[in-house]
Chains A and B, each alone.
Chain A
């Protein structure tokens, strides 16, 4: 021990600065005077001489005061810091002394913080962070509203709306998909899109290299130019320093004139963009082909823009009736258009991870309470040795902060892993790869850690300040607990149980809903089938080379069909679940037709080849369908059940006639009558939970004008789906080495359409499982503790003749008593939370009683089981030992 120092005293016991300085100097002068008096100088003169020889007393005092003030401040700060260091060091020693508790606590916190950080980083990236476009809040996607639903804006309407609106700075259309390009000598599947003039003004994007197309290059007959994405320029084109002579061949031979900025990933990261207006565009005001995006003027609200466009559409309707079916505009903020469907699920998951963290906190707080009672003696001793209550509180908070810090660090590490896990199960529409742990997420984790510290540290601290330290000391370090401590802990356990009930009910609902979705009649059989998308490079297959398309498909079908392991093969212009696909007007014989166009309605159409129905597993309900085995009479058509039911209810559709009505064709263009030869089951056109829509099928040989250079093959195999992929690829390459092929099990297309649901279900299910584990751990801990506290009582009971069965029942009873309020609370919470799930469940009520019952039963059983071990332990108490204890 070093000498006692003034600084060790509390501030109040040290003389104030001026007194400290004044008294010191007074002492000096008086001693000097006293000395002179002893030497015989008269008292008066001695004082004067002492003062004179001291010098300028006021100046010296002022200087001393300054130094002293400064010194005290620094000292104070340093001692605070030293105290803090000491608290942390002591905290660390305490944590090291009980490694079991520490590891459990850090793991619990890591789960809570990790889950929260991971979900938050998703929410942050998708819903909170500004989109990577300038003034993204003014960007909206625009659709036409129709009597039934809504759709893309037809080109002529778009031109009028763009010219006549008053609320937009710029507006553009774009559209495209996968295409095949020849670049650098090889055929590639790329994402390509055509865009109308001004798209990059809407997005406020400028090329980092080269230029955008000029207005003159957005005109019919203009030379073919393209701008490409940064990754395309870098990886496919080989990052040429100059764009001179750089070309890509698609439908036309494009000169690459510009490179878009890195990170620009609009329209699902389209790689190649070319002007739209170089070819004649449709005149129809009822055909919906491309997306429309607009930039609202500064200060214009979505509502105002909506009203403005509504007025424009009303005006257009009055001019162009009846060749017009729009009733108004429908607009979404860009973010809604991009991630709108994930908004509710993500916020739901964020809420779920939040209550999970609360459960983790409750668990830790309970454990701290138990330790607090065991440590009451330690604190009593420290308090008796002079540690103030504030100091002890700080000690507890330092321990919690240390735990929270360790938990937050471990949690962040865990969230990396969780995000990686998300990548595997997330729907492809979410740009998970671009989600990272950034400053916001770190801040979020820090806030979570602080919250944890407060929640976990506060309870024992409150307990401490309520305890009479002296009492605790007299009671010894045995720590008799105290009824109120047990009560506080049981409240915490009840909260954990309630949280687990809510999460478990929610995830049971989602699982049930998911299975309902998967049970939906798809109308086709995705098992054992491979989907192969093929796009023929336009330069070799377009226009005059249309016959080549026919030849390619015939030869490919032939080769694939004869390959080993292939049961059947066919293709269509669009697969089921692919988002509807093209549709158009039809006329059914004998029905009153629209006087202007001669149409009687709309239907989705499919152009098919080979044994499409067999390969896709679409059942034939009546009549015959197109197949490779026998040819049907010319001008045959196959319809689906939805079509047959709509057009010929209660009649046999076989033999009925219909024809295609196209508004883009001259009205006198004679479309032949087609005769229905067969009826097939309806398939889900857009999504698993979407409606069936009337569809008709035509033979691709008879519809050369329906361009099928981009077709989807379906190959049904007797063996492995993945093994057949290379067989199909080789067969097609043998026909034309330049085609790009994309193969995936048909099942994947089904999975993709339920990916968002699956993602939400898996993540919420995982959270629920963790919450269940936490609740089990909580019940186990509180009951174990109670048993340990009541050892002596149990010993006495056993000594007095209580049977072990009685003791066991007593302990289990207390477990039940701890769980029951949690179950009640959880049931209430689950019913309240049902609303949040309403939009996410399908085919099951959000307040589904069986789901709630299942969750309650699971918690009840798990809770009692976790009380079983302590109960058994209680019966092993040796009465003699227990009574003699202490």
Chain B
């Protein structure tokens, strides 16, 4: 069975994580579910890869973490955006939007005369 899902462009995963946490603190499983659902499972994400990414973001001071009870009563490691994380998200989103816009513009452009 071949996987037809999209491979993620390097470095964009962090933005998705930050974006997910912008709705409020969440544990790793919730984050991975949220990303999967909101992308309608179109993105190919290794579930395990989320955790080193989370901890790296935490190390960079963009996230905070805390062990507390989850909805099922079991303790989970909850992550939350720090003010620095919120700032980073804003910047990354802006960059991403510019990127997409330029990319789309090139792809949809037609040559006026010959390009050769």
Contact = CB atoms under 8 A, between A and B. Distances in A.
Contact of A5 (B51, B66, B74): B66
Interface in B14-32: 27-29, 32
A28 B64 contact: no
B48 A23 contact: no
A754 interface: no
Nearest to B74: A27
The A contact surface, by secondary structure, is helix
B56 A67 contact: yes
A332 B59 CA distance: 68
Nearest to A71: B59
Contacts of B48: 25, 54-57, 59-60
B58 A71 contact: yes
Given A28-B47, A56-B48, A5 B29 contact: no
A55 B29 contact: no
Contact of A24 (B32, B51, B72, B80): B51
B105 to A, nearest CB: 37
Contact of A32 (B29, B58, B65, B70): B29
B115 interface: no
Contact of A6 (B46, B65, B76): B65
A59 B46 CA distance: 13
Contacts of B46: 55
Given A3-B64, A5-B64, A71-B59, A64 B51 contact: yes
Contacts of B55: 64, 67-68, 71
Contacts of B106: none
Given A5-B64, A5-B66, A24 B28 contact: yes
A10 to B, nearest CB: 15
B59 A70 contact: yes
B51 A27 contact: no
Interface in B63-89: 64-67, 70, 72, 74-77, 80
B16 to A, nearest CB: 17
Interface in B81-108: none
A701 interface: no
A28 B67 contact: no
Given A23-B75, A67-B52, A54 B67 contact: no
Nearest to A15: B67
Chain A CB within 10 A, most for which of B47, B48, B72: B48
- Assign chain B's interface to a size class: 20 to 34
B65 A60 contact: no
Contacts of B49: 55, 60
Contacts of B32: 28
Contacts of A28: 28-29, 32, 47, 51
A62 to B, nearest CB: 9
Interface residues of A, number: 28
B85 to A, nearest CB: 13
A67 B53 CA distance: 10
A20 interface: yes
A27 B75 CA distance: 8
B51 A25 contact: yes
Nearest to B27: A27
Contact of A27 (B29, B65, B66): B29
Chain A CB within 10 A, most for which of B28, B72, B77: B77
Interface in A1-58: 3, 5-6, 15, 20-21, 23-25, 27-28, 31-32, 34, 53-57
Contacts of A748: none
Contacts of A438: none
A83 interface: no
A201 interface: no
Contacts of B72: 31, 34
Nearest to A20: B77
A159 B77 CA distance: 93
A268 interface: no
A34 B71 CA distance: 13
B76 A27 contact: yes
A57 B74 CA distance: 21
Contacts of A6: 64-67
Contacts of B27: 24, 27
A53 B51 contact: no
Interface string A68-79: 101100100000
Nearest to A74: B59
A47 to B, nearest CB: 14
Nearest to A7: B64
Contact of A60 (B29, B52, B70, B80): B52
Nearest to A60: B48
Interface of A: 3, 5-6, 15, 20-21, 23-25, 27-28, 31-32, 34, 53-57, 59-60, 63-64, 67-68, 70-71, 74
Given A20-B77, A27-B77, 12 more contacts: A3-B64, A6-B66, A20-B67, A23-B75, A23-B77, A24-B28, A24-B76, A34-B72, A55-B47, A67-B55, A71-B58, A74-B59
25 contacts: A3-B64, A20-B67, A24-B51, A24-B77, A25-B48, A25-B51, A27-B27, A27-B28, A27-B29, A27-B76, A27-B77, A28-B28, A28-B51, A32-B47, A53-B47, A55-B46, A55-B48, A55-B49, A57-B48, A59-B48, A60-B49, A60-B52, A64-B51, A67-B59, A71-B58
